[in-house]
Amino acid sequence: MNLRRNRFEKVAAKRVQDILKKLSLLGNCSNRNNYEYNEEDIKLMFKALNAQLKRTEMKFQNNLEKSDKSKFKF
């Protein structure tokens, strides 16, 4: 495996794990005994999370497409 691939796997795995942990911590806020929230709060939170997730996914997709476009094809 090359250096850039190894670096990607190491860095991306750590960052994904960190995000998953933070999402789990956010889930702890669902405890109605400790927190008060409403349907609109939930919609706003998940709208922001989904929008950022989509933007991040598009960065990866766009960079894959850029590398494909630089190659000659018939």
Q: What is the pLDDT of residues 47-68, one digit of tens each?
A: 999 999 999 999 999 999 887 7
Number of domains forming the structure of the chain = 2
Closest to 20 in 3D by CA, of 54, 48, 49, 57: 49
Range of the domain at 65: 37-74
- Based on the fold, state whether residues 44 and 58 are members of the same structural domain: yes
30 with 42, same domain? no
Instruction: Tell me: pLDDT of 44 over 80.
Output: yes
Q: Which distant-in-sequence residues (6+ apart) come within 8 Å of 37 by Cβ?
A: 29
Which pLDDT value is given to residue 15?
98
Say yes or no: 30 and 43 in one domain.
Answer: no
The reply to whether 5 and 15 lie within a common domain is yes
**Do 24 and 45 fall within a single domain?**
no
pLDDT reading at 70 higher than 90: no
Same domain, 74 and 41: yes
Q: Do residues 25 and 52 both lie within one domain?
A: no
